[in-house]
């Protein structure tokens, strides 16, 4: 719960946007390929993004922020390198908690979410392993999207996120 809201908070803070729901990995080049689908958020989350309120389209479960060249979201480049993997969990009424996890734990989490694991089997495990091999990995329990995005930006060690690849 809350992946889209957290993604939108990160993008609103200047992080580059790869995708909201899916990650496409090119194993030949060893890179993640942007697959930008418009982030969808629920009505109760709109207040977090008052500066974007007029840009949203739709209502209820169908409310989304269109991705356009002149829009508020900075799209990632063609060959982004994955530096950080986050395993997020939204918790109502809780506090933000960011902790490092091993690349192995991240690999297991990603394996459980991989859509093509049944088709590619061991190759999928190899591809996911290469994806996490250079990444810092975190578990994030969060309540407020902008507090969580600040914690992630700080943990990433990037001084000026707008200039980050």
Specify the pTM: 0.79
pLDDT tens for the 165 residues of the chain, in order: 678 888 889 888 888 777 777 777 787 887 778 777 888 888 888 889 888 888 889 988 888 888 877 777 777 776 567 788 889 888 888 778 999 999 999 999 888 877 776 677 778 888 888 888 888 999 999 999 999 999 988 887 755 444 433
Q: How many helices (H) and strands (E) does the chain have?
A: 5, 5
Other beta carbons within 10 Å of 155: 16
Cα atoms in the Cβ-side hemisphere of radius 13 Å centred on 139: 13
């Amino acid at each position: 719960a809350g992946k889209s809201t957290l993604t939108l908070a990160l993008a609103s803070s200047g992080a580059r946007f790869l995708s909201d729901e899916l990650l496409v990995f090119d194993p030949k080049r060893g890179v993640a390929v942007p697959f930008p689908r418009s982030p969808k958020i629920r009505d109760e989350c709109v207040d977090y993004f008052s500066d974007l309120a007029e840009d949203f389209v739709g209502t209820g479960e169908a409310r989304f922020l269109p991705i356009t060249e002149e829009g508020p979201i900075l799209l990632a480049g063609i060959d982004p390198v994955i530096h950080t993997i986050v395993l997020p969990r939204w918790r109502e009424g809780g506090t933000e908690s960011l902790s490092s996890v091993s690349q192995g734990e991240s690999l297991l989490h990603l394996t459980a979410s991989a859509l093509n694991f049944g088709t590619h089997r061991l190759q999928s495990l190899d591809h996911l392993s290469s994806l996490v091999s250079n990444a810092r990995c975190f578990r994030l329990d969060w309540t407020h999207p902008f507090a969580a995005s600040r914690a992630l930006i700080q943990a990433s060690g990037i001084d000026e996120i707008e200039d980050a690849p």
